[in-house]
Amino acid sequence: MTDSKPSLIIEERPCQSGQRMGYACLNAPESLNALTLPMIRQLTKALNQWRQDSQICFVWLEGAGDRAFCAGGDIVKLYESMTSDKFTTNVVSNKNDKSSPGTNLYAEKFFSEEYRLDYLIHRFSKPIVCWGHGVVMGGGLGLMSGASHRVVTEQSRIAMPEVSIGLFPDVGGTWFLSRMSGGAGLYLGLTGASCNAADAIELDWADNFLPSSQRTHLIEALQRLQWSSGESNHSRVTQLLRAWQEQHKAQLPIGQIAEHRDLVRQVTRGDTLAEVVDSILSLPAKDGWLKKSQDSLINACPTSLHLVWRQVQEGGRLTLSEVFRQELVMALQCTTHGEFKEGVRALLIDKDRKPKWRYQNVSSVPPSYIQKFFTPPWKKNPLDDLSSH
C-alpha cells in the first residue's frame, strides 16, 4: 500500500470578518520540505486562484514538522536529470555551433517554474505571512524572501550554501545579496554562512521575530482581524506582528552578523575575488561561526565563487524580473558544465564529501569559462514574459 500523503496541503479557513484565509503547508518533513516540481506547480496554482478571489484576505505559508520551513529544492531529482537521457535533450540553440551542450529539459522546467513562483510571491497583492521556522535554505529562502510578512523564530537557521554543491545563490539571490550593506551579501554568498532570526531581520530576510510557541495563537489572531478588501490589509498585519514582537523581543537571539559586522566589512573590501577569498581565509577563527565560514569557503566550488562575485557586483543594476531571467541562464548552464553534478554527487549521492572541481582555486578559473554561465542557451528566455519592474 503506497503512502498517498499530499506533498502540499492547500486549505481555505474562515475568518471572523466573513472572508477566508488561504493556507499552504509544504508537507514533506522527511526531506525538510524540499521543493519538488509538483509542489511548485500546486502552490503556483493555489496562489493564482487566491490572488483573484476577493474572499481570500491573506495567505499563510509554512512547512510541516518542527525542523524546517524548506531546506531548498529537490536537487537529487536535478542530479538525475544531469545523469539520465530521460530528462535531457541534445538539441542546441545554435545549430551552427556543434559544441553547444544543449538544454536540460527537466532543469529548465524546474528552475523556470520555481523562479516564476518566487516572482509571483514578490508581486502578490495580498498579505502573505511566511512562517520561517527551522531550516530555511536555498529554495526555501526564495519563497520566504518575497513574502510581504516574514516571521522567524528562535529555531530559524537561514543560509544560501549553494557554492558547496557547484551551484550559486539563486531564487533571487542576485537581488537580495547585492542589496545588503557592509559586504554582508558577498560574505554570505561566498561562505554560505548560517544566520539566525536576529541576522535575518537585520539583513532584510525577515520582518518579525516570534517564539515558535506562538504559531497557533498568531494564526488565530490573524483570523480575528477585521479584514477589508483593500491595501490596508497589509498595515493590519504589520501592526499586529509588531505588537506581538514587542511582547517577545527579549527572546530574540544575539545576531552573528551584528557581532561580526566590522570583520565582514573589512574582509569584503578587496578589488578582486581572490583578494576577498584570501582575506576571509586569513582571519583568525575566533569563534565557531567564523571557523565554519572559512571551512565552507575552503571547500566551495571555485567556479561558483566567481558566479557569486558577478551576482553581487552587477545585481544592484538589475530589475527583479531581469534577476530571475539571468539566474535561469546561470542555473541551466550549471547543469551542463559538470560542477553542479559533481557537487551533488559528493554531498548527497556518494557522500564522500570530496568533490573534484574543474579548477582548484579562484585564480585558475578563466574569465572566458565564467562568461559561458551568462550566455543564454536559447534565443527566447522562458521568463521573458515577467514584468520589467
Which residues carry out catalysis? Answer: 73, 139, 162, 170
Q: Which of 212, 219, 177 is nearest to 312 (CA)?
A: 177
Whole-angstrom Cα distance, residue 55 to residue 267? Answer: 51
Within 10 angstroms of residue 265's Cβ, the number of other Cβ atoms is 14
What strands lie across the sheet with 135-137, from one edge to the other? 68-70, 135-137, 157-159
Radius of gyration of the chain (CA): 21
DSSP result, 288-313: HHHHHHHHHHHHS-HHHHHHHHHHHH
Whole-angstrom Cα distance, residue 103 to residue 92? Answer: 7
What strands lie across the sheet with 8-14, from one edge to the other? 8-14, 20-26, 56-63, 128-132, 149-152, 208-209
SS3 131: strand
Grid cell of 214 as nine digits: 506562538
DSSP result, 357-376: -SSSSGGGS-HHHHHHTTS-
Q: Which of 118, 183, 141, 166 is nearest to 330 (CA)?
A: 166
